[in-house]
């Protein structure tokens, strides 16, 4: 049974603070993703990583960075949090079974971040 | 890049009736189309997916159809039950990524 965990369910930070959101998966998945979920906007991809130390920008990378030092862990970093980054953040992972072969994404429980 | 449009944003159906959610995509190279269900306060979970080499796939009360020519795909839920109440997301692949629609909130009315 795949498990994707996130470091916090709820987080409150102040404007300008540096924020770290951690995600860990236990199924040796190659690909990991960070999304933010806002009402009426669905799931928007911030960054994804297809291997250790590899990363690629998603659709809304501005204001965020990521780190993947180990295969099982993918971190999202808000260098200087702003109020418009208040959102639900979801991490996901997926196994790669070949070039162009897509599989189920397994999501973490989410972190609801509030920036005051 | 890939855009995925989903309609309607909200859908209310009487318990026992059918529900249909429709999506369109823009990238003709897309070949994988999953559907995720997110219950209130929970994480999204895959309920069904379809690949471009088939036009329809069914799993009990859930079915998905794909029209590659028109670039649209649909989720059909028959004999709806209260536990079907949730937000449903369609998605399509773009390169190594999955791009999601904005979601449909489905209400099952008693």
pLDDT in tens, A77-100: 999 999 999 999 999 999 876 666
Residues of B in contact with A45 (CB under 8 A): 97-99
CA A11 remoteness from chain centre: 15
Dihedral sign, CA of B78, B79, B83, B87? positive
> pLDDT below 70 — which residues of chain B?
1-2
Is any Cβ of chain B less than 8 angstroms from the Cβ of A110?
yes
Is any Cβ of chain B less than 8 angstroms from the Cβ of A58?
yes
Number of residues that make up chain A? 116
pLDDT of residue B11: 97
pLDDT of residue A89: 98
Q: List the Cα angle B19/B25/B26 in 5-degree steps.
A: 165
Q: How many H helices and E strands in chain A? A: 0, 11
> pLDDT below 70 — which residues of chain A?
1-2, 97-100
Pairing status of strand A19-25 against strand B4-7: unpaired
């Amino acid at each position: 049974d795949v498990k994707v965990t996130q470091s916090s369910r709820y987080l409150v930070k102040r404007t300008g603070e540096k924020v770290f959101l951690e995600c860990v998966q236990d199924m040796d998945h190659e690909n990991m993703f960070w999304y933010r979920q806002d009402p009426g906007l669905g799931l928007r991809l911030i960054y994804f990583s297809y291997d250790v130390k590899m990363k690629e920008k998603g659709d809304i990378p501005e204001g965020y960075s990521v780190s993947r030092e180990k295969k099982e862990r993918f971190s999202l970093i808000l260098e200087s949090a702003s109020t418009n980054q208040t959102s639900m953040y979801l991490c996901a992972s997926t196994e790669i079974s070949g070039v162009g072969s897509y599989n189920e994404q397994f999501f973490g429980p989410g972190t609801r971040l509030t920036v005051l | 890049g890939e855009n995925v449009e989903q309609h309607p944003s909200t859908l209310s159906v009487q318990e026992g009736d059918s529900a249909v959610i429709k999506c369109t995509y823009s990238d003709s190279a897309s070949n994988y189309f999953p559907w995720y269900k997110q219950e209130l306060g929970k994480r999204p979970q895959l309920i069904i997916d379809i690949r471009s080499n088939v036009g329809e796939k069914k799993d009990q009360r859930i079915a998905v159809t794909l029209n590659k020519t028109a670039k649209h795909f649909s989720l059909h839920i028959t004999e709806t039950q209260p536990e079907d109440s949730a937000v449903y997301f369609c998605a399509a692949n773009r390169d190594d990524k999955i791009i999601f629609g904005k979601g449909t909130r489905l209400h099952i009315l008693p």
